[in-house]
Amino acid sequence: MKDGIFIGDRYEVLSKVGSGGMADVYKGKDHKLNRFVAIKILKKEYREDELFVRKFQSEAQAAAGLMHPNIVNVYDVGEESGLYYMVMELVEGITLKDYITKKGVLSSKEVISIAIQVANGIEAAHLHNIVHRDIKPQNIIISKEGKVKVTDFGIAKATSSNTISTNALGSVHYTSPEQARGGFSDFKSDIYSLGITMYEMATGHLPFDGDTAVSIAIKHLQEEITPPSEYVEDIPFSLEQIILKCTQKSADRRYQDVASLKEDLKHSLVDPDGDFVVIGPMRTMDETVMFNPDDVRKAKRETSYDEDDFSEEDYDDYDDFEDDDDYDKKGRKKNGDVNPKMAKMMKVLTIVAVVIIVFIVVFIIGKATGLLKFGPSINLEDDADKNEKVKVPDLRGMTEEEAKKVLKDKKYDMTLVVDSEEESTTYEKGQIIKQTPGSNKEVKKKP
C-alpha cells in the first residue's frame, strides 16, 4: 500500500505503523471529519478467502457499534477494489505485552488498575452480547496518557475459520479450556483470558507454555495452574485469589460476570490481604473431560492472530491509570450448580477443614546397601529424588470426599489427614482451604 492514496474517497493513507498475522496497519487521516485514524487492511491471503471475509465484515460491523473509553473504537468497515479495510481509533501508545516485557513484574496496584480498565471495556461489549474471545496483552494498548484500551473486539470469531492456517501460539497461552476444546465460549471465557493476563502481569510468567499450540491447549485442559505466590511471594492474598478464581477450569467456578470481578478488584485495592474472594464448589470428579483426537483437530483449527503494534517507539512507565466507573455495589453471584450429594455434605459440615497431607514414604532398600535407616529424621524429599516424581495435586476447594478420590489415583503415594478446622470466607463449608505440602511440590511416585 503506497502512502498518499485514498480509500473510499475519504481516508488518506499516510504511513505504515505495524503489521500482524492477518492485516497491515497504517496511520491515516479522515478528511471528512478531519481526524487521524488507524486503517487496518487485510492481507492478500485472507482477502481471497470468501468465508473469512464474510465473517470479518459481519463481526467488525457488530463491533463498530461499541463506543467506550476503554475500547479501541471501530469507526468504519468497507471494501474498495478488492481491499477490505477497517477504520479505527488511532491510539498512540504501547501494547500491554511490550509493557510487561519492559517492566518484568508489575506492582499489584498496576495489575489491578489495568485489569479494572480492561474489565470496563469487556463489560461494555458483554452488555451488547459481544464476546471478545481473544483477550491477551497483545490486544490491550496503554496510551501515552495512561489510558488502557482493548482492541480487536469481534475479530477473533472471524479468525476461527477452518480455512485459515496460521500460527496460533500467541493466543493459545490465554485461551480458556472450553475454547481449547473447540466448544461453546461465552462471557466467562473472556474472564478466564483476563485472569491469565493478570497472572502474567503479576508474575512475569505465563502459567502454561509449550512448543506447539496443541500442547499448550492440553495444559489449559489438564494441568493445575501454579499459584502466583510461587513466583512472587509478596503478592497480596486477595489478588492471588482473584486470579485463581478467574482461571478455574470449570466456568461455573469463575466469576459469573465482569461486574463481580470488578467488585473484588476494587475491594482488593483497599483490603489487599483480605479473605473475601469466594470460589464455588467443584463438581463431582466423575465429570472429568478427556482431550481426544477430535479435540486436538479442533484446537489446530482454532486460530487467532497477534495484535498489530501501532508504534515501535519506547515510552516511559505509566504508573497512574484511570478508572471512570463508580464502585459497583450489587452483590456478587455466588449461586451455581451444586451437586446434591455435595450440598448435603456442606449442610452437615459447619467448619471448614484445614487439611494436612501426611506423606508416608516406604523405601525399598536392597539387601546389599542398607544405607538408610527409618526414623524420625528421614528427609522425605531427598529420598524421593531417587525415585520417579509426581507433582502434589491442588486439593484446595475440594471436599474431604473429593480429595480422597483424587488421592486414590495410583500415582499419588500419600494419605489424607484432617489436622484441624477453622472458619473461612474464601471457600464454602466443607472445602479444604490449606494443605501441606503445597500443590505442585514434587514427591515420589507410588511404586
Mind telling me the catalytic residues? 134
Single out the residue of 304, 289, 317 nearest to residue 94, CA to CA: 317
Q: Are 431 and 352 in contact (CB under 8 A)?
A: yes
Max CA separation in the chain (angstroms): 90
Q: Is 329 buried (19+), middle (13-18) or exposed (0-12) by CB count in 10 A?
A: exposed
Distances in Å between the Cα of 176 and the Cα atoms of 94, 114, 185, 251, 333 are 25, 20, 8, 9, 21
* CA dist., res. 335 & res. 309, Å (int): 41
Cell of 322: 484511570
Q: State CA 78 to chain mean position distance.
A: 32
Q: Are 242 and 217 in contact (CB under 8 A)?
A: no
Where does residue 377 fall: left (phi above 0), alpha (psi -120 to 50 degrees), or beta otherwise?
alpha
* CA dist., res. 55 & res. 248, Å (int): 30
* CA dist., res. 345 & res. 353, Å (int): 13
Q: State CA 316 to chain mean position distance.
A: 26
Q: Is 409 buried (19+), middle (13-18) or exposed (0-12) by CB count in 10 A?
A: exposed
Cell of 40: 487496518
Question: Residue 111 in 3-state DSSP?
Answer: helix
Taking each helix axis from N to C end, the angle separating 187-203 and 237-246, rounded to the nearest 10 degrees, works out to 140
* CA dist., res. 42 & res. 82, Å (int): 10
Report the amino acid identity of residue 425. Answer: T
Residues facing residue 89 across a β-bridge:
37
Cell numbers 516406604 label which residue?
362
The alpha carbons of the chain give a radius of gyration, in whole angstroms, of 25
What DSSP character marks residue 412?
B
Q: Where are the beta strands (DSSP E) in 326-384?
A: 352-358
